A and B are shown apart, each in its own frame.
Chain A
Amino acid sequence: MTILVRIWGCRGSLPVSMNTQKLRTKLIKALQSAQGRKLASEEEIIRFMDTELDFSVSHTFGGNTSCVEIACGENDYVMCDLGSGAREFGNHVLARESSGKPSTFHFFMSHLHWDHIMGFPFFAPAYLAGNRVRIYGCHPNLAEDFNRQQHAHHFPVQLAQMAADIQFIQLEAGVATEIAGFKVTPKLQLHSGDSYGYRFEKDGKIIVYSTDSEHKLDQIEHTQAFAAFFQDADLVLFDAMYSLADTVSVKEDWGHSSNIIGVELCQMAGAKHLCLFHHEPIYEDGQIETLWRDSQRLEEITRSGRPLRISSAFDGMEIPV
């Protein structure tokens, strides 16, 4: 059975938006590339966009903060993090679930920094009685932090006023738990205030969500532990926020990683697909595409076994696993 991973928010730290100037720059580039071409039908236009334009001209990586759906065709929703992408995800669910049948949402929290929880006050299904929201994490203060975000000083509706049945469930790093048909194993990661990655396993498929995680690859035990966590994964969603040079110089100990470390760890682990995630908010689409292409090139020149597929997350992306 295919598991579909949907990216609802891929941006790190702070949501960003497309503005008129950026949109017009893309349009100018696209129209310049189309000069002299006869694009008579919508199909021809789409083919031209998809095959001849740079990805960063025909698309945008998007601006919502971390929120990822792991869809497996059942009634429950399995999600990672509640960044601003959760708002769009919630609206999508309401539009799809016209029957009014209650749903259960399982959210696995990497940590409780603002960009990873800010979507919850805008997650519309949490306002509907009958829905069940289960928020899992390894931090001891899950409920307290979610309540604080919706304190009257910060937001007009308090958590207790949301009509869904909301529960917070403590998990323990390194201990696998069966949830919504998945074997879920959290792992402690290096980040300010700690963060946790999650390894999801079901029917022989393995998906790893590992964001807001710094790596120091000269520390062999650390490296081996993460290679084991990523071992044979079909998909690894990986924090590639900074360049390697930044992570070992001016941004050392800021709690994030780079595309280079992602490639190396996935190669060590024999993973099949690395998806670069948690994009730096100051990066324009062109810079993220360059980072993606550079990562593909690095994989080519360092490959010793089977090829590692490398993609770059964008809001609305769907990855069949």
Chain B
Amino acid sequence: MLDFSRLNYISSAGLRILMIAAKQVKSQQGIIAVAAMQPVVREIFDISKFTFVLKCFDSVDEALA
């Protein structure tokens, strides 16, 4: 689980690396989740449609529940 609460921007290169990591984790029967995104980062996730391909949670607590 990635705590994004202190991340205030992510570029397409960053998103692509996240996707590469997610594929590697998936091959080992795991999943990557992202939690506590700031509004701008959440908007970038929405615009890029990454919310459809990565599990996203509003908070770290929710992700760990």
Contacts and interface: CB of A to CB of B under 8 A. Distances in A.
A309 interface: no
Nearest to B23: A249
B44 interface: yes
B53 A261 contact: no
Given A218-B17, A249-B19, A261-B12, A297 B53 contact: no
Given A218-B17, A248-B19, A249-B53, A264 B11 contact: yes
Interface string B23-65: 0000000000000000010011011111011000000000000
Contacts of B44: 260, 298, 301
Contacts of B46: 294
Given A244-B49, A258-B48, A301 B16 contact: no
A218 B48 contact: no
A297 B11 CA distance: 14
Nearest to B15: A244
A64 B50 CA distance: 30
A183 interface: no
> Contact size class for B?
10 to 19
B19 A260 contact: no
B53 A260 contact: no
B43 A246 contact: no
Interface residues of A, number: 21
Contact of A248 (B9, B11, B15, B43): B15
B47 A298 contact: yes
B29 to A, nearest CB: 18
A258 B17 CA distance: 16
A259 B50 CA distance: 13
Given A217-B16, A218-B16, A301-B40, A246 B11 contact: no
B47 to A, nearest CB: 4
Given A217-B11, A264-B11, A302-B9, A246 B16 contact: no
Interface of A: 216-218, 223, 243-246, 248-249, 258-261, 264, 294-295, 297-298, 301-302
17 contacts: A223-B13, A243-B48, A244-B12, A245-B19, A245-B53, A248-B15, A248-B20, A249-B53, A258-B48, A260-B15, A261-B12, A264-B11, A294-B47, A297-B43, A298-B43, A301-B40, A301-B44
Kindly list the 3 A-B residue pairs having the minimum CB-CB distance in the complex, ordered from nearest: A243-B49, A244-B48, A245-B49
